[in-house]
A and B are shown apart, each in its own frame.
Chain A
Amino acid sequence: MSPVVNVHGVTKRYGDVAALDNVSFSLEENSIHGLLGRNGAGKTTLMQILTGQNFATSGEVEVFGGHPFENESVLARICFIKESQRYPDPLKVRHVLQAARLLYPGWDQEFAETLVRDFDLPLGRTVKKLSRGMHSAVGVIIGLASRAPLTFFDEPYLGLDAVARQLFYDRLLADYAEHPRTIVLSTHLIDEVSDLIENVLVIDRGRILIDEPAEDLRSGAVTVAGPAPAVAQFTAGHNALHREQLAGRARVTVRGAFGNGERDHARALGLDLEPVSLQQLVVRTTTERTATATKETSR
């Protein structure tokens, strides 16, 4: 597998604020990447730069071997679905799908029609008059049926109910299996997508905090619970992401892999080792950094 996206030292400044601060990473081809982070972390800015819709202040961006800005051959292979997409006032749902068909070389009309039925979209209604959820469904359908080799979904399902979201995940996985491509899914609903994503990128305050395969991440952290002294003994020397203590009992989330020997040791100390969900991990990692940053600024 080779990377389709290479980002090297990208910084984006708006006046004094750095929306992206020296960001570097690459995205492997034919994989589902989760771009996770809090609101305002820089996710959308990053995707706008990768799709040539915005400009980096400094740094290098390479998508399919070229710079995406005004690059026809690169852009024709990219589909960027964003929550904030605007549509011209007179356009009806069917017009928007016609437009997508015109511009995405890999467009599958039959698949699009199936999705329209699945999401129960009214083809004859103007997009302006759609409910928030239906508006999102239009984007989801374009993102899936365009079959672009590199597809970005930026919070694609604002207003979609749980059933529709599950439908999106199911269709995405099924179509991805048949037509492998590179997908970047940006969302705060981390638990919902944690089974979907193969690679995790966590971004916070414009910096990449985590860039790892999801599998390694899940097995790379654990919550140790039990009597406080035993927990402290067991977790000494590990990078603690989070600590809670209540009446002599402690719960500490630490990074690092634990083998069978260590697990037996933990049991002997009367400790429980609990798996950490991706969402907890992201929350712990980002709040950890926020806490440190706050301490630093208050000094």
Chain B
Amino acid sequence: MNRIAAATRLHLISWHGLVLWPWGILLSSFLINVVIFAAIGDQGQGQNTPGGLVSIYIVVFVAFVQLVTQGFPFALGLSVTRRSFYLGTALLALGQAVLFGFGLYLFKLAEDATDGWGLSLRFFGIPFLTQDNGILQILVFTVPFVLAGFAGMVGGVIFQRWGTNGVYTLMLTSIIGTGGLAALITWQQQWMELGNWFADQPTLTLIVGWPILIAAALAGSGYAAIRRATA
């Protein structure tokens, strides 16, 4: 446990980048939205819901790719085992997800209290994601962070283990996989069914349940791959 915690702390030695980039990018997106909606004075049309929130999840994904591609050779050079490095990094992803999820929740509270910053702006409290229960609301914000972090880790591990070719192979297989699936659905004329299925899923299942399953599968495959990776 000691060395796992040490591996987490290894990432936190220069923690500024882990906090400032995601929030800096999110808040600048937010400010631009505030300025734009204030400028057009569009208040009567109900709710304005831009998609800027997704930027913070993308930044977290990229950050975790880099934590692996840059941190793994460094950690291995400091006699850390692959196992400790991986678990320590996963621990960081989980901790960061909870903190960031809570942070978004606080912003949403402020947004609710000010009636969308006085502009009916729903930047944090996207209606589709809104929960009545505070804990569930935090969970809805948190779980996609876990997914983004773990997906980034796995991307980094694949690069570390199989290099650029591994990353391209992964992209190729996903394109062929999703493309093939789309073709199959079109051929079977099942798009309507699929749409209904998604629409029938409660938000919690869609934003929390499935992402947790996918994140767990990613975490397991990343662990299997890193065990034979070299710096």
Binding site for B on A (CB under 8 A): 48, 51-55, 70-72, 75-76, 78-80, 82, 85-92, 95, 98-100, 102-104, 148
Question: Is A82 touching B77 in the complex (CB atoms < 8 A)?
Answer: yes
- Contact status of A90 and B14, CB under 8 A, knowing A72-B3, A102-B6: yes
Question: Is A104 touching B79 in the complex (CB atoms < 8 A)?
Answer: yes
Question: Is B81 touching A86 in the complex (CB atoms < 8 A)?
Answer: no
Q: Which residues of A lie under 8 Å from residue B70 when comparing CB positions? A: 86-89
Encode B77-120 as 1/0 by CB contact (under 8 A) with A: 11111111000000000000000000000000000000000000
**Which 5 A/B pairs are nearest by Cβ-Cβ distance?**
A88-B70, A75-B79, A86-B73, A90-B14, A103-B78
Q: Which residues of B lie under 8 Å from residue A78 when comparing CB positions? A: 79
Q: Which residues of A lie under 8 Å from residue B80 when comparing CB positions? A: 75, 103
- Contact status of A85 and B83, CB under 8 A, knowing A53-B230, A99-B13: no
| Residues from 203 to 231 in B contacting A, C-beta threshold 8 Å | 227-228, 230-231
From B16, B76, B79, B231, residue with most partner A Cβ within 10 Å: B79
From A75, A89, A103, residue with most partner B Cβ within 10 Å: A103
Whole-angstrom distance between the alpha carbons of A70 and B73 in the complex?
Answer: 15
Of all chain B residues, which has the CB nearest A77? B79
Binding site for A on B (CB under 8 A): 3, 6, 9-10, 13-14, 16-17, 66, 70-71, 73-74, 76-84, 227-228, 230-231
Question: Is A86 touching B231 in the complex (CB atoms < 8 A)?
Answer: yes
Whole-angstrom distance between the alpha carbons of A272 and B16 in the complex?
Answer: 68
From A48, A80, A87, A98, B79 is in contact (CB under 8 Å) with A80
Question: Is B10 touching A103 in the complex (CB atoms < 8 A)?
Answer: yes
Whole-angstrom distance between the alpha carbons of A133 and B82 in the complex?
Answer: 29
Question: Is A70 touching B13 in the complex (CB atoms < 8 A)?
Answer: no
A3 to chain B, nearest CB (A): 20
Whole-angstrom distance between the alpha carbons of A72 and B7 in the complex?
Answer: 12
Q: Which residues of A lie under 8 Å from residue B73 when comparing CB positions? A: 85-86
Question: Is A52 touching B81 in the complex (CB atoms < 8 A)?
Answer: yes
Whole-angstrom distance between the alpha carbons of A198 and B43 in the complex?
Answer: 82
Question: Is A72 touching B228 in the complex (CB atoms < 8 A)?
Answer: no
Question: Is B77 touching A85 in the complex (CB atoms < 8 A)?
Answer: yes
Question: Is B74 touching A87 in the complex (CB atoms < 8 A)?
Answer: yes
Question: Is A54 touching B6 in the complex (CB atoms < 8 A)?
Answer: no
Of all chain B residues, which has the CB nearest A94? B13
- Contact status of A91 and B14, CB under 8 A, knowing A53-B231, A86-B74, A102-B6: yes
Question: Is B74 touching A79 in the complex (CB atoms < 8 A)?
Answer: no
A54 to chain B, nearest CB (A): 6
Question: Is A95 touching B13 in the complex (CB atoms < 8 A)?
Answer: yes
Whole-angstrom distance between the alpha carbons of A282 and B81 in the complex?
Answer: 35
List 13 additional A-B contacts (Cβ < 8 Å) besides A70-B83, A70-B227, A85-B77. Answer: A72-B81, A75-B79, A76-B3, A76-B79, A79-B79, A86-B73, A86-B74, A90-B14, A90-B16, A90-B17, A100-B78, A102-B9, A104-B79
